[in-house]
Structure 1
């Protein structure tokens, strides 16, 4: 153990799982990382995003516009990932500790909940979708004698809790297996759509006039919003990745798998909606795969996508948040995250009567996540010039003690601005919060301990 590790243990009350990851503790290879993001990108929700370009049988975007919007989005996502993952990759710290620089040890509670609470809610929603698919398998296998979605939901959730107890060691294997299944399944569905529904897809989507206006930029914003919760906590993933990779190579580790999975899934979602006239992929898929054997395969596919998505996006981040807030160790926190997802009543959230409330919930937390990522990047790259003292980050009585008013005020200013134009909320919040944070850090709160180590120290 190094003297720095000893000092961190002395100064912090945080659990060992939140301490910096050493080089020898990092078990995720670049190949594993690619499979992880492929597994995360392939899910019914992302397919729905592709289907959303077809409204009432009319395409708001044609194939060229859809693909260009996707490529722009994936390029932005990969860039932000590679920028925001750098501190976690270099030092091995998790997201909840990274937040201390810009928000303070107590202010981190607020900003970490903005990532943790939505993740738990989506953990439950995804699991309910998976439980529904598992129940479809059970009905077919038992010839209808078993039909209980809730039991299937609980079983699936318990399986995911067990997997989550083994951390990234288990996750990387789950994602590797799932990714191979996903790619084979997607290629099969793509082949059916091209050979059997090519004419409908061409007339409805490929040759559509589409728009280069608000629908085009709206798809980009929704694309970015879907990843807002994930790349804001990029450090949680990069701290597990083996060292020695350049920033460019790490950027490729995001761009390639996200393009392969998310890009492919969006295209298939648009093709499904064009071919069937149905925008819900869970309903559209059985229409083109119309027999029991394929129905079981599709349902199994959905179950795998749920597990893969939850393991990456909805398990680790809230587990770290719970560990931070409760001082529990990693495994009890992972169990608690899974139980809270059970208690989120996801069967109520996925009903049509709840759609407006759920959409409002997504809108509110997404409006804060753009500002949070902006503040973190401005703080690390511009104000601190990538120089961070780990000892200070873990010192409960150090310069990051308490609340950083500059970070919290900038976050709320950015979120308020985001609601001015909802369709462009993410980018508006990101720009406004970043500028506000820089100005507040420079001109306000003179004598603040958060200026230590920054370009504004002693000014």
Structure 2
């Protein structure tokens, strides 16, 4: 769809009842993020402590589940799949400027979107809390050093950090762009320094725990691929929320390479450092493990500052905008009140339960459970757009309360539930099982059931 088509579409929907301005398709003038800034945005998102915790989760009670080679293979496979799905699912948002919550209406309908959008919003809010809790432990280290250990309260630091992020996120995507560009460069430099310390001072512990372990190529290996993949499942599901901000005129192939390069460099490096930290210290909370590794107050402050910056950068991209759009859609609130509510909900997410010093298995389980639902949703969207609609969507209809996509599409909801049920048969492979089963189920349901459904209009099954 051309830029002119985007502008015409916006004119048609601008007076639609209940549609907040932030949910309108982005025009060419509003899309100000260039490819370099976009790449740094995803590098900044990837170099975060949550991803490092996933790497650390490979080590349980001092024993590595996978060896270094198995870990790297699992990571590369996951990153390749992540990049591919990003490039596929970002296309509708990039071509038309619509957000994820509008894209959902194409398959689930105006009312059905409520359920499917919550499946994206809730994990993001929990991740917002997890990232902020890890960042709070780093902030606590900073305050503890400067106060001569008279202050030591992670909970207070957690509240302060979340409130700061709420204020910063009120400035919108422009704030995200500069935060990510700065943070991605500085954090990578800090992590390279940590990587050097681990190799020089803790090599033996890492080799004994991680490199020389037998590991397995069995179910745990594929389970970790699903964990690494599931960690990004919520983000690439809402790819339209990000691609709609990107300047027009960038080819599909170039966007795909932007995703792959950024995620490979950042995610791969951080997963590796997380596994190394846990191997060297036996601690799976990276902020605390780093304080043990860097046994120097000044350097600890330096590293902790960049941990906090990394947390803020990640939340700004991945965990604030999508749930804010969902809240805007469901409550009809403006974007800024929705951002505030998102932050307040993150305060109540109990992240300390999922990330403990001795093990991050709770985080793994959380990722696998929500992946069981997100795999089916992204599969349905891709089947809808590429197979059933051949990349042709009437965007104006997505914004009509009484149009073609009014109500809910039972085929999509049933397919999602079938996919999720199949995923829970083998939770370690939840994402891929749910995605494949839901995609097949959706095609069959659209072909053979609900003959008079308005959702078949414009698809290959329209009569």
TM class, shorter-length: over 0.9
Partners of 2:8 and 2:210 in 1: how far apart? 62
Report the CA distance shift for 1:347/1:192 in structure 2 as closer, same or farther (over 3 A).
Answer: closer
Kindly indicate whether the alpha-carbon contact (under 8 Å) linking 1:348 and 1:354 is maintained by their aligned counterparts in 2: no
The equivalent position to 1:169 in structure 2, one of 174, 196, 202, is: 174
1:253 alignment partner, SS class? helix
Supply the distance in 2 between the matched residues of 1:18 and 1:249 (Cα, whole angstroms): 26
Q: State the partner residue of 1:264.
A: 269
Q: What aligned pairs does 1:40-439 form with structure 2 within 5 A after superposition?
A: 40-346=45-351, 362-439=367-444
Moved more, 400-409 or 171-180: 171-180
Q: What displacement does 1:85 show? A: 0.4
Deviation of 1:283 (Å): 3.2
Distance (whole Å) between structure 1 residues aligned to residue 137 and residue 63 of structure 2: 30
C-alpha contact (below 8 Å) 2:230/2:368 kept by paired residues: no
Q: Indicate conservation of the 8 Å contact 2:137/2:157, yes or no.
A: yes
Kindly indicate whether the alpha-carbon contact (under 8 Å) linking 1:106 and 1:402 is maintained by their aligned counterparts in 2: yes
The CA distance in 2 between the partners of 1:223 and 1:356, in whole Å, is 13
Residues 59, 279 of structure 2: 8 Å contact kept = yes
Q: Residues 38 and 261 of structure 1 are in contact (CA less than 8 Å); yes or no, is this contact kept in structure 2?
A: yes
The runs of 5 or more residues in structure 1 that have no matched partner are none
Q: Note the residue ranges of structure 2 that are not aligned, 5 or more in a row.
A: none
Deviation (angstroms), 1:145: 3.0
Measured in 1, the distance between the counterparts of 2:185 and 2:107 equals 39
Alpha-carbon distance change, 68 to 356 in structure 1, aligned in 2, over 3 angstroms: closer
1:429, distance to aligned residue in structure 2 (A): 0.2
Moved more, 412-421 or 156-165: 156-165
> How far has the Cα of 1:114 moved from its partner?
0.7
CA distance in 2, matches of 1:4, 1:177: 35
TM-score, with normalisation over the residues of structure 2? Answer: 0.93
The alpha-carbon distance between structure 1 residues 123 and 280, as it changes in their structure 2 partners (threshold 3 A), is closer
* Gap change, CA 1:147 and 1:205, over 3 Å in 2: closer
How many aligned positions are there? 458
Q: How far 1:119 sits from its partner (Å)?
A: 1.4
Residue 211 of structure 1, CA deviation: 2.2
**What displacement does 1:195 show?**
1.9
Structure 2 residue 14 is matched with structure 1 residue 9: yes
CA contact (8 A) 2:187 2:307 kept: no
Task: Tell me, in whole angstroms, the C-alpha distance in 2 between the residues paired with 1:22 and 1:35.
Answer: 23
What is the RMSD computed on CA atoms of the aligned residues?
Answer: 2.2
Q: 1:452 aligns with which of 452, 457, 461?
A: 457
CA distances 1:205-238 after superposition (whole Å, capped 9, x unpaired): 3344332222221211111111111110000010
Report the CA distance shift for 1:365/1:273 in structure 2 as closer, same or farther (over 3 A): closer
By how many angstroms is 1:366 displaced?
A: 2.0
Residues in 1 aligned to 2:342 and 2:416: alpha-carbon distance in whole angstroms: 26
Shifted more, 391-400 versus 114-123: the winner is 114-123
Shift of 1:281: 2.8
Rounded Cα–Cα distance in structure 1 between residues aligned with 2:261 and 2:358: 38
Q: Which moved more, 1:3-12 or 1:78-87?
A: 3-12
Contact 1:123/1:314 (CA < 8 Å) preserved in 2?
A: yes
CA contact (8 A) 1:84 1:231 kept: yes
State the Cα distance separating 1:444 from its structure 2 match.
Answer: 0.5
2:23 to 10, 18, 21: 18
Taking the aligned partners of 2:62 and 2:358, their CA distance within structure 1 comes to 24
The worse-fitting range, judged by mean Cα deviation, of 61-70 and 389-398 is: 61-70
Structure 2 distance, partners of 1:355, 1:62, is 18
Give the whole-Å Cα distance in 1 for the aligned partners of 2:49 and 2:366. 20
Q: CA deviation at 1:364?
A: 3.5
Distance 1:444 1:194 in 2: 59
Separation (CA, whole Å) in 1 of partners of 2:186 and 2:119: 33
Verify the 8 A CA contact 1:12 1:394 in the aligned structure 2.
no
**In structure 2, how many angstroms separate the alpha carbons of the residues matched to 1:182 and 1:397?**
48
